Chain A
Amino acid sequence: MTDPARSSDASVKALAEYDLNRNSIVGRTKLWIFVLAALLFYVVSWRLAEVDLSRLANGLPKLGQWLVRAWPPNFTELPIFIQRVGETVAMAAIGTTVATLLAIPIALLASRNLTPFPALYLPARWLLNALRGIDAFVFALLFVASVGLGPFAGVIGIALHTCGSAAKLIADAAENAKLDALHAIETTGASRIVSVCYALVPDLLPVVLSSMLYLFEFNVRASTVLGVVGAGGIGQELKNSMDLLDFPRLFTIIILIFIVVTVLDQLSGWLRKRLT
């Protein structure tokens, strides 16, 4: 058995050199500067966010009282709630579908390997980043002002924001797609468009549908609050109840949202699993 004590001079020297390089003063200084910068970042963030645990301690009992007063839930207005939840789901469904349809051509432009106009690659990516950077909530706020109150403003908001996300997901999938089959099919004399349809669409279609379902799940959750800015759906009732301090009504709506979101998540998750 090899004995550590028998280690050669070369090993001893190598270990000394290893430690010297690993624990150099420059390296240590860099580490400490990084640690200090991170610490400073969190201190400043804590201040800016006005984190105040005593306010939380004072506020929690109030919340508890509301919860007590919220019982029992009030189902007398259930038909109107169901209609509003229906509006919310419909906004998410139409918005997501329109977004995906719009996203397909943009995604083609925004994938480096497929774009027919390489000059438009970067502008397309910028457009997607801009669309993703502005929340559906913000778009809805703008469109409530221009097309008026109601779910239609919500649909436009969701469609614009989701279009950015969907196109990015599809474009990333397209950029990672294996192109050998595409090239092989192009050598048969097929045109570019036919080759893409034949070689890439079978691989990409499940990705497109799966991202559409994923974004739909996300949008159902996001659009429950769009009513707060007047863009229709159950969020409107949520805000009304809070304004009236009608806690049983509020509680009922929250339960309803929870049930619908959970059921749709499960359903869409099940569908996505079947796609792959």
Chain B
Amino acid sequence: MAAQAVDVMTNALRIDSMSKRFGERVALAGVSFSLRPGEFVGLLGPSGAGKSTLFRCVAGLERADSGGALLGEQTLGSGHGSGNGGGRIAMVFQQFALVDRLSALDNVLAGRLGAVPAWRGVLRRFSREDRMFAMHCLERVSMLDHAEQRADRLSGGQKQRVAIARALAQKPDVILADEPIASLDPTLAGGILALLRSIASVDNVAVICSLHQLSFAREYSDRVIGIRAGKIVLDCDASGVDDEAAERLYERVTTG
């Protein structure tokens, strides 16, 4: 891999000792890692370990208490909405988060909102170039035939493909996928992960994807990060994750 000569400049995203607490409960306790362009990273950890909080803080949906994020060479602001580097960080959600009453194409065009004047968003009038690009994004997720369908008429797998097309339409440097397959049956799940993986390598985007199944993480990731009680406890090549490491990651916390 060309990115083997690791250097700060080659990182797509660097997180530096990010911490977040909700009242008494510590959700993130100084999390640091970096993602290289084109890398697909699986994020593992038991429920409540802080995976979603991490994503929400990086995407700017939540404000981290301390620590910073570096997108390429740009420091990300903190606070709602301002933290996602002008759309260069795209997010994919477990429950798809599409606008039900809009067509698939209009949902994908939402990915362009960060880059177009407000009036275009309000009136849903996009330039031909943006519309063409959105259609192309739909083609890349094999949803061209469903461009006109209202989002609520699509099946779960189709919805997630449209959501991925929306992320693509942002022309992102980083895609955060928060349990993108947890609402899908296993046969569809593999297709979604393969799609995200191919996007990572073809578009040279860093993809970090939280997962619950170790087998999927091993099969599709380049690297696996394990998080537990708000701390990173595992960070290695996907091939290096053995059952023992996984067991330690998911081991019951008996102190509680």
Binding site for B on A (CB under 8 A): 1-2, 4, 6-8, 10-12, 14-15, 18, 21-22
The answer to whether A7 touches B148 (Cβ under 8 A) is: no
CA distance A6 to B133 in the complex (A): 9
CA distance A244 to B140 in the complex (A): 79
> Nearest-CB distance from A256 to chain B (Å)?
46
- Chain A residue with the shortest CB-CB distance to B139: A11
> Nearest-CB distance from A33 to chain B (Å)?
22
CA distance A11 to B168 in the complex (A): 15
9 contacts between A and B (CB under 8 A): A1-B203, A2-B136, A2-B140, A4-B129, A7-B133, A7-B135, A11-B132, A11-B138, A11-B144
CA distance A199 to B129 in the complex (A): 59
The answer to whether A18 touches B203 (Cβ under 8 A) is: no
> Nearest-CB distance from B115 to chain A (Å)?
12
Measured between beta carbons, the chain B residues less than 8 angstroms from A11 are 132, 135-136, 138-139, 144
B105 at the interface (CB under 8 A from A): yes
CA distance A52 to B138 in the complex (A): 55
B212 at the interface (CB under 8 A from A): no
Q: Which 9 A/B pairs are nearest by Cβ-Cβ distance?
A: A7-B136, A4-B133, A11-B135, A15-B135, A11-B136, A11-B139, A14-B144, A18-B147, A7-B132
Interface size on B, residues (CB 8 A): 19
Q: Taking chain B's interface residues, is the majority helix, strand, or loop, or is none over half, making it mixed?
A: helix
Measured between beta carbons, the chain A residues less than 8 angstroms from B218 are none
> Nearest-CB distance from A4 to chain B (Å)?
4
B131 at the interface (CB under 8 A from A): yes
> Nearest-CB distance from A22 to chain B (Å)?
7
CA distance A1 to B200 in the complex (A): 11
List B residues 168-211 near A (Cβ within 8 Å). Answer: 168, 171, 203-204
Interface string of B114-141 (1 = CB under 8 A from A): 0000000000000001011101111110
> Nearest-CB distance from B170 to chain A (Å)?
11
> B135 is contacted by which of A6, A18, A21 (Cβ under 8 Å)?
A18
- Chain B residue with the shortest CB-CB distance to A8: B139
The answer to whether A14 touches B135 (Cβ under 8 A) is: yes
Measured between beta carbons, the chain B residues less than 8 angstroms from A2 are 133, 136-137, 140, 168, 171, 203
> Nearest-CB distance from B205 to chain A (Å)?
9
The answer to whether A1 touches B171 (Cβ under 8 A) is: yes
> A18 is contacted by which of B105, B171, B204 (Cβ under 8 Å)?
B105
The answer to whether B133 touches A10 (Cβ under 8 A) is: no
CA distance A12 to B139 in the complex (A): 10
- Given A1-B171, A8-B139, A21:B132 Cβ within 8 A: no
CA distance A56 to B139 in the complex (A): 60
The answer to whether B136 touches A4 (Cβ under 8 A) is: yes
Interface string of B132-173 (1 = CB under 8 A from A): 110111111000110110000000000000000000100100
Measured between beta carbons, the chain A residues less than 8 angstroms from B168 are 2
The answer to whether A21 touches B136 (Cβ under 8 A) is: no
CA distance A28 to B109 in the complex (A): 22
CA distance A197 to B253 in the complex (A): 43
> Nearest-CB distance from A41 to chain B (Å)?
25
